[in-house]
Every structure is written in C-alpha cells, then in structure tokens.
Structure 1
C-alpha cells in the first residue's frame, strides 16, 4: 500500500472519531454552560476549550460567550479541532484515498459534509448538530466495518479510530473536576454512550468513582480507554507482527502497551485523586504513538535528485 493512502486512511479514522467525540463532549456541557452566570461561564468554557485544543491562539482569556465556544468547537471549518473541521478533513482524506475506501464510506462522508450547512449556528442548532453528528459518524463507521475487507487498509482506519477514541475519552474525563463528577457522573456516562452498560455492570450501590473506573478500565465496553488501547495494539500487531524474542521493538506499540498495562495493573483507593495523572499519561501515549506511526509508515526521506557526472 502506498504510504499516502495509508496515511489518509489513518486520519479518516481519527477525524471521524474526533468529530464524534467533540459532539458528545459539547452536547453534555452545552446545557451546563447555558445556565451558568457570565463569570463562571468564562472559566468553564475556557477550561473546556483548553482541554479540546481550541483555546485562543494569542493566549488571551476566552470571553465566555457561547457563540465563541460554539464557533470554535462546532462550526469553524478552518479548525480541525472543531466538528465541521474534522468532518471536512475526513472527507478530504477520503477523496485522496478514493480508490481504496469503499463507495458507501465515501458517500456517507460526502453526505455528512454537505449536510453541515443545513444547521443553524446557535445554541438550538448546536444541540441538533451534536445529535446528528453522532448518528452520521456511526453510519460512517458502520459502512466501513461492513464494506471493507480486514486488510491493511481497514487496519490503518481502525488504528486511527482507536487512538482517537482513547484520546477523546481521556479529554471527556478531563473536562470535569471532582466536584463535577459528583454532580454529573451520569451525564459523563451518557456522553460516552455508557450509561446502560454501566448500570448492568453495577447491580449494587455505586458512586462517581465507579463511573470513572468504568470509562477508564472496563475491558468489554468499546469506548473505555483500556478497550480502545487494546484495539490500537491489535491493529498495530496485525500491520507488523512481532517476531522478535526480545520484546516489542515498535515504538508505537511499546508506548500504547505501557499505557494500557499501567492502567490495568495499577490499583488505587483514590482513583479520582489520581485521575489527572492517568489521563495525562494516556494522552501523552496517544500523541507519542501517533508520531511514531507517522515516522514509521508515512514519512520518507526526500529522494536525492540525480545529477550527471562531468566527463
């Protein structure tokens, strides 16, 4: 497979998952922001945009205006951290890899991109946009899973999806402090689509620490961080099977495996107190693994130009 095609497939998976995760996070925080007084709204919106990588470039303080938050996280087509920007980037990468992605995947992405302009750019429109984007990205993922062979092309797509899903779940958990967990752990679970699965896994009493533990460590729920990291490890192993007797030499697999193993084998009585440390470690592992994947599969030295010798 050409490296440019593999790179496009990897970023299709990442951008589609980023749009989905941003829509889920914005949806669960929008009502809270809308009800806060202006001075508290500025603080909460600033923290939210910082976590989502959408803070003002000049380092200034956000105004707390909901229109600014909605523009940066939802409607700004020039910013890949926004919903519209991520979907536009996913469509552009699908256009570059048009000969590899299936027609249903391309049509789903193209239809989603064209449908963005039909949403009002206000609070009501943002609510509807978030719900619509979650449905549309699920359609794209479903088309990919049902119409693409499980070859290298699908593995790169799945790898990007799993890495971004782990990162977005970590960002979602990072948007709330201990106080917000006590008040809105149910919303956090609903944000990840985990509410019913969590209740079925906890027949007895539970509190906010159990909700955080479920989203962080549950091996069976696909949006948990551990499950997402396991999926990324599986795709990496399929792309480059390990043959060495001396451990994992692949940097991306090593970083993801270390982050996943630390979470699975680390037990603490104060998960919420240590949660920021865990989330920073996961996000650093995802960023480092992405760089390592780019270096190994997508980046190539510039070929030297041939010059004739003087006779």
Structure 2
C-alpha cells in the first residue's frame, strides 16, 4: 500500500473519532452550564479550552459557551473542531478513494454535504446528536464492510489512538472541574457506557467503579485500556514482530502507558488522575509521531488546505 493512502486511511479513523468524541464532550459541557445557574461559565470554558489544547482569550475577556462552540464545534477550517474534523475526514477519503468502499465514501461525502444545514441549530444538542449518528454509521461500515487487511488496520489504528486520547481528555475535564463538573453517571451516559456499566456491576454504582470502568475495562470499546489494546493489535497486524529482542517505537509508547494503568491499583491512578491522563495523551501523541515516521515518511510536513469549491 502506498504511504499516502495509508496515511489518509489512518486520518479518516482519527478525524471521524475526533468529531464523535468532541461532540460527546461538548454535549456534557453545554448541558452542565444550562442546568446549573451557579456554574462559573468563564472558568469552566477556559478549563475546557485548556484540556482541548486550544488557546483561551486574555484574562480580561469573558469566555462563554458561544465562544467555545465557535472554536470546537462549528469551525470548518480547524481539524480540532467537529466541523473541521468532518471536512478533513472527507478530504482524506477523497484521496484514498481507490481503496475505500463506495459505501464508506458516500457516507463521508453525504456527511460533508449535510454539514452546513445542521450547524448552529437552536439547540446544540441536536447538532451533537447528528454528529454522533453519522460517526456511528461510518464505524458500522468500517467494521461490517471492510476486509480485515491493511485498509481496516490503518483506519482502526487511527480510531483507537484518537479514542484513547479523547477519553483521557473527557476524564480530565471531570477531574479538573471537581464537584462542579458533570457526575460520573453523566460521563458514562455521554460515552454510551452507562447501561454496560450497570450490567457489569449489577447496579451497585460508585464513583470509583465508574472511573475504573472508563479507564480499565477490558471489554468495553470506549475504555482507555481497550482502545490502547486495539491499537497494539492493529500495529501487530501491520508489522508482526520478527526480532524477539525489540519492539517498534509506537507499540512501546502504547504498551508502556497501558501497563502503567492496567497493573496499578485504581485508587493510586485516581489520586493523580489529571497527571495520569496527561501521560496517556503524551503517549498517544508520541505513538502517532512514531507511526508517521514508520509508515508515512515524507520530506515535507503535511498541511491541510481549505475546501475546494
């Protein structure tokens, strides 16, 4: 497979997952601000921008939900925003058109065409719901109509790394907000994990168990450990280990942070949750850089251009 095609497949997985997870995170954030009249909106919005690695305005400028939505939901030219991620996913699908299925291309292209009509609704929740539904369709097509070859491996590798990173950001927002932030039940619902959590623990819920479920559950697809395990499996499928004494750089970063979470007592992880989630984000970034260097070598840095009309 050509490296440019492999790179496009990797970023299709990442961008669709980024749009999905950002929609889930913003949905929780906006809902909390609407329900709690005593919430410090400026502080909460600045914390969210910090978690998402977006610059905040100067201290004397008040930051509200509209500013956050403009930056993280509706900006079509920023790949870190929902709209920008969907645009970038469609552009990468166009570049890999000869490899991906017609069904997947039509899904991403339809999403791109429908995007302007769904932006800035009366209720942001409607926009977030639409984004989550479109991402679910893409994931369903990837999993049900794609052969388990390099095409699938690169897309799922991108999706898994992005999912681990974004789930870590979601948990960081909860840790930083403290009692003023969303409850663990709300976070579980935002990840589609609430019913699975209740079935796992037979209804005996607690904050510690909820946090552990999103961090460490080996069977739930949106937990950090599950996503990191799937990323390792994809890397192993792309390049099976031939030298028993070494491991490639990307798998080393992912495996190190996964075992650091998986084999430590949960209370120890929860006591330093923001720091631990920052380690997960750094590991995902380092693994992504290693994957780029191994599979997508290029003399020039990748730059994303605006939409072609």
Helix, strand or coil at the partner of 1:100: coil
Match of 2:163 in 1: 165
On the 8 A contact 1:217/1:225 being kept in 2, the answer is yes
The reply on whether 1:101 has 2:100 as its aligned counterpart is: yes
**Partners of 1:28 and 1:174 in 2: how far apart?**
13
Match of 1:23 in 2: 23
- What TM-score do you get using the length of structure 2 for normalisation? 0.91
Post-superposition offset of 1:203:
2.0
Helix, strand or coil at the partner of 2:174: coil
Match of 1:43 in 2: 43
Match of 1:305 in 2: none
- What TM-score do you get using the length of structure 1 for normalisation? 0.91
Match for residue 277 of structure 2 among 267, 271, 279 = 279
On the 8 A contact 1:76/1:84 being kept in 2, the answer is yes
On the 8 A contact 1:165/1:223 being kept in 2, the answer is yes
Match of 2:8 in 1: 8
The reply on whether 1:133 has 2:131 as its aligned counterpart is: yes
Match of 1:214 in 2: 213
**Partners of 2:210 and 2:265 in 1: how far apart?**
15
Helix, strand or coil at the partner of 1:176: helix
Post-superposition offset of 1:205:
3.2
Match of 2:306 in 1: none
On the 8 A contact 2:120/2:127 being kept in 1, the answer is no
Is there any run of 5+ residues in structure 2 with no aligned partner, and where? 301-309
Is there any run of 5+ residues in structure 1 with no aligned partner, and where? 303-311
Instruction: Tell me the matched-pair count.
Output: 299
**Partners of 1:291 and 1:61 in 2: how far apart?**
37
On the 8 A contact 2:173/2:181 being kept in 1, the answer is no
**Partners of 1:159 and 1:60 in 2: how far apart?**
39
CA RMSD of aligned residues (A): 2.0
Larger radius of gyration: 1
